[in-house]
Amino acid sequence: MRICFIPIVFLNKVFNISVNEKDLGMYRINLVVKRIFDLVSSMMLALVLLPLWIALALWIRLDSKGPILFKQGRRTKDGRIFNLYKFRSMVVNAEKWRLDYLIMRMTQE
């Protein structure tokens, strides 16, 4: 079953469908309820996964030297830059090593 959600405001602007204030009020209430649900469920999931994250951090720390988390700059579709943090799964400076390797391969050919 496929569920599709089309905001009431979108229908009003695009298709010129009149919407009364009661419908818009319910739309706002639904957004608030959804936001509360999203926050509570994400906090509960974070608490459940916390022991796994601690175990991963210890494993990375004991396995190799360097930071536990990897920080990478990413761009949004609007062009803004944000930092992404994730557990390190490669050696430190793997991106630089890859670039050096590619340059070495290109100069050998």
**What's the CA gap between 93 and 96, in Å, rounded?**
5
What pLDDT does residue 3 have?
A: 52
For the whole model, what pTM was predicted? Answer: 0.54
Buried b (16+ CB within 10 A) or exposed e, 60-77: beeeeeeeeebeeeeeee
Specify the pLDDT at position 45: 97
Q: Name 68's Cβ contacts closer than 8 Å, sequence gap at least 6.
A: 57, 60, 61, 87, 88
pLDDT digits (tens, 9 = 90+) for 55-91: 999 998 898 888 888 888 999 988 999 999 988 877 7
Instruction: Write the pLDDT tens digit of every residue in 14-55.
Output: 566 565 656 666 677 888 889 999 999 999 999 999 999 999
Higher pLDDT, 98 or 55: 55
Within a 10 A sphere around the Cβ of 8, how many other Cβ atoms? 16
